[in-house]
Amino acid sequence: MSERFESVEHFSLVITEISSKIPEEGITLEEFLDIIGERGLFMSCMILTAPFLLPVSIPGSSIPFGTAIFLLSIRIGFNTPILIPKRFMNLHISKHDLDLILNEILNILTPLEKIIKPRLNILVESNRIKHFNGAMVSFGAILLVIPIIAPLGDFLPSYGILFISLGYLEHDGYLVLAGYVTVITTAIYYILIFAIGIKIILIIISYFGLHP
């Protein structure tokens, strides 16, 4: 699979082509991956974050989409075969939802065109760093599927995955670094949310005299 693109402008052409291949009756996640998979694993991960970057959402999509991102990134990080559970692959997505997602992701990529350029090559060039980037995307995908109730719960890890994937594809180490920071910040945020939740539960238990 090709993993590089010469410029961010190419993404608009790729996404337009993907949109043209979606039938009117909609498509399953497996069929969607068949369309975009040939373009590279990082490209697939980047597009699969789209439902969580936007006001548009597909109900119940974080688990199947997050799982797909995780397994794709495992392949990047550890060069293992992709095996996504059939019940996730059979998720049906309407053409209307996919058109909204693909059109809106262009609105995110277009402003980035002005700032993306090859730099900080140490984070994008070697096979070792490619595997590390895959591992970081995997970590972001785990954060995405964790069932935690928190503001920006899906938004933050999705942008981390997007930055790492797009930065690698465009040789922009600064964008990859921004992805690292976003994923790590999300992990810290989740830990704090969890700790606060536990504290609140203990206070409630203590209030009702159930805690010694």
pLDDT tens digits for 19-33? 888 888 888 877 887
- pLDDT, residue 163, reads 92
Range of the structural domain that residue 83 is part of: 9-207
Asked if residue 1 is part of any domain, the answer here is: no
Domain count, the chain: 1
- pLDDT, residue 21, reads 83
Number of alpha carbons in the 13 Å side-chain half-sphere of residue 71: 14
Asked if residue 196 is part of any domain, the answer here is: yes
Asked if residue 38 is part of any domain, the answer here is: yes
Asked if residue 83 is part of any domain, the answer here is: yes
Question: What's the mean pLDDT in 142-158?
Answer: 79
Asked if residue 72 is part of any domain, the answer here is: yes
- Please identify which residue in the block is written with the tokens 């959402």: 57
Q: Name which of 2-11, 75-84, 102-111, 191-200 the model is least confident about.
A: 2-11
Report yes or no: 65 and 51 within 8 Å, Cβ to Cβ.
Answer: yes
Asked if residue 212 is part of any domain, the answer here is: no
Encode pLDDT of 92-137 as tens digits. Answer: 888 887 887 787 777 787 787 778 888 999 998 888 898 899 889 9
pTM here is 0.78
Q: 3 falls in which pLDDT band (50, 70, 90)?
A: low
Asked if residue 3 is part of any domain, the answer here is: no
Q: What does 74-104 look like in DSSP terms, one character per residue?
A: HHHHH-------HHHHT-EE-HHHHHHHHHH
Asked if residue 2 is part of any domain, the answer here is: no
